[in-house]
Amino acid sequence: MDSPHRPSSAESVSLKEEKEKPWKYIGYKVFSRWVASDPSFFVLRRFGTLNARVALSLQDEIAQLEEKLDYMDKKYSDREIPDAHNGTFRDEPFTGDDDRQALVRDVLPGKLAKYNSFLNGYSQLVSRGSCKPDDVASVRRWLRIIRPTAIDIRESEYIDHDDDLVSIHPKTRSPGRNFLENVAFGGRLNPWGIPWLKEWFSRQAPKDIISLKNEETVWPNDQRMEKVSSVLISVVGIAMLIGPIWGLAYIRRMEYRLAVISGFIVVFFVVLAITRSRLYEALAATAAYSAVLVVFLQAGVGRST
List C-alpha distances in Å: 97 to 68, 85, 151: 10, 18, 53
Same domain (yes/no): 187, 113? no
Which residues, 6 or more positions from 280, have their beta carbon under 8 angstroms from its beta carbon? Answer: none
User: Does residue 49 surpass a pLDDT of 80?
Assistant: yes
pLDDT at position 212 is 47
Same domain (yes/no): 120, 192? no
Q: Nearest-CA neighbor of 136 among 9, 43, 253?
A: 43
**pLDDT tens per residue across span 269-281:** 887 776 665 677 7
Q: Which has the higher per-residue pLDDT, 62 or 134?
A: 62
* Domain final residue, candidates 126, 149, 184: 126
Kindly state whether residue 258 falls inside one of the protein's structural domains: yes
* Domain final residue, candidates 126, 151, 181: 126
If you average pLDDT over residues 134-157, what whole number do you get? Answer: 89
Same domain (yes/no): 235, 111? no
Kindly state whether residue 138 falls inside one of the protein's structural domains: no
Kindly state whether residue 16 falls inside one of the protein's structural domains: no
Same domain (yes/no): 179, 262? yes
If you average pLDDT over residues 147-167, what whole number do you get? Answer: 91
Kindly state whether residue 152 falls inside one of the protein's structural domains: no
User: Does residue 54 surpass a pLDDT of 80?
Assistant: yes
Kindly state whether residue 59 falls inside one of the protein's structural domains: yes
Specify the number of domains making up the chain.
2
CA 21 to chain CA centroid, nearest Å? 35
Which domain, by its residues, includes 119?
Answer: 48-126
Kindly state whether residue 133 falls inside one of the protein's structural domains: no
Rounded to two decimals, the pTM is 0.66
Q: Quick one: what percent of the chain has pLDDT higher than 70?
A: 79
Kindly state whether residue 56 falls inside one of the protein's structural domains: yes
Same domain (yes/no): 108, 217? no
If you average pLDDT over residues 174-192, what whole number do you get? Answer: 72
Q: Which has the higher per-residue pLDDT, 62 or 37?
A: 62
Same domain (yes/no): 117, 176? no
Q: Which has the higher per-residue pLDDT, 238 or 99?
A: 238
Q: Nearest-CA neighbor of 102 among 145, 139, 68?
A: 68
Same domain (yes/no): 177, 238? yes
Same domain (yes/no): 214, 107? no
* Domain final residue, candidates 126, 148, 182: 126
Q: What does the mean pLDDT of the chain come to?
A: 79
Kindly state whether residue 298 falls inside one of the protein's structural domains: yes
Residue 87 CA to residue 47 CA, distance in Å, equals: 45
First-to-last CA distance in the chain?
Answer: 65
Q: Which has the higher per-residue pLDDT, 209 or 41?
A: 41
pLDDT at position 213 is 47
In terms of average pLDDT, the best of 111-120, 141-150, 183-192, 240-249 is 111-120
**pLDDT tens per residue across span 195-214:** 777 778 777 777 666 554 44
pLDDT band at 116 (very low <50, low <70, confident <90, very high): very high
Same domain (yes/no): 279, 202? yes
If you average pLDDT over residues 215-221, what whole number do you get? Answer: 73
